[in-house]
Amino acid sequence: MEIKAFAPAKINLTLHVTGHREDGYHLLDSLVVFADLGDQLTFRPGPELSLDMRGEFADGVPSDRRNLVWKAAEGVGWTGHIDLSKSLPHGAGIGGGSSDAAATLGALVGQGCDIPPELPLTLGADVPVCLKGRAIRMQGIGDRLAAVNLPHLPALLVNPNVQVPTGTVFDALASRDNPPMPEVIPDFASADDCAQWLGEQRNDLQVPAMGVAREIEQVLDELNMTNRALVARMSGSGSTCFALYPTMKDAHFAAYDIGAAHPDWWCRATQLN
């Protein structure tokens, strides 16, 4: 029997670094949403575990025990063949590997596998939030999750085809003890209302990431110059950036403009929620 799963791109609308533990983990306060685009996985039960990579961004992604999909399947005791079609750039701050792992866990639970409680966080700090697959406030080391009601957010995602190592960005962070988001996230009537509130929040990794990859600053400048952009920011530790728009039509027009000017960039209009 063939099992299919979808692994959506994860977008950090905010990312406040609020502390640093002695064991090396950073404490975060982040508003996370998911796109309607992502990777695709297909599972076929069998006697041994194997993984094949394909798709636009398959090159450079391991197809052995180093891959989080393999680790997730192994962690729940499932065996068989997995096809992973990579549509999301890796090392891009949009949780591609974590979302793939979460989609694997979700699919295999439906096949009678049990997820050990500690497994998702062991696979990665973003895996628990990716298991939810909807708007979430993520706090702590990724272990404190609270659902948030947000309107649908028309958006444009842009990546300049530059990978940014997460560890390098955190190493360049000037302060690891910054204010969290407000205690209460308001109810927003529209994307415009949400964008105005987001403009008062931060991604504390954006400035250090720009020091690692100057292309991020260029992407943000280009997004801010698109017609009807409401807010532009980097996601995660980079290098993907996003802008929000009043309508999907606005997002598609912006995608055309930036895509025409920078055909070597990954540029996708999407809806976030």
Nearest to residue 142, comparing CAs of 29, 257, 244? 29
CATH 3.30.230.10 range(s) for the chain read 3-146
Query: How remote is the C-alpha of 16 from its chain's centroid?
Result: 15
Neighbours of 227 (CB within 10 A): 9
> Which residue in the list 100, 126, 204, 250 is annotated as catalytic?
126
- The β-bridge relationship of strands 241-244 and 153-159 is antiparallel
pLDDT tens by residue, 2-28: 999 999 999 999 999 999 999 888 999
Nearest to residue 254, comparing CAs of 238, 235, 270, 240? 270
- The domain defined by 150-272 folds into Alpha-Beta Plaits (3.30.70)
pLDDT at residue 109 greater than cutoff 90: yes
pLDDT at residue 91 greater than cutoff 90: no
- The β-bridge relationship of strands 144-147 and 80-85 is unpaired
pTM for the structure as a whole: 0.96
pLDDT at residue 272 greater than cutoff 90: yes
Q: Which amino acid is at 21?
A: R
> Which residue in the list 10, 29, 71, 86 is annotated as catalytic?
10
Which class does domain 3-146 fall in?
A: alpha beta
Asked about 71 being catalytic, the answer comes back as: no
pLDDT tens by residue, 195-242: 999 999 999 999 999 999 999 999 999 999 999 999 999 999 999 999
Cβ atoms of 179 and 16 closer than 8 Å: yes
* pLDDT at site 269: 98
On average, the pLDDT of the chain sits at 97
CATH 3.30.70.890 range(s) for the chain read 150-272
Helix (H) or strand (E) holding 128: helix 127-132
* pLDDT at site 198: 98
**Measured distance CA(45)–CA(80) in Å, rounded:** 4
Q: What is the 3-state secondary structure (H, E, C) of 4-23?
A: EEEEEEEEECCEEEEEECCC
Does the bond joining 239 to the residue before it have cis omega, within 30 degrees of 0?
A: yes
Asked about 10 being catalytic, the answer comes back as: yes
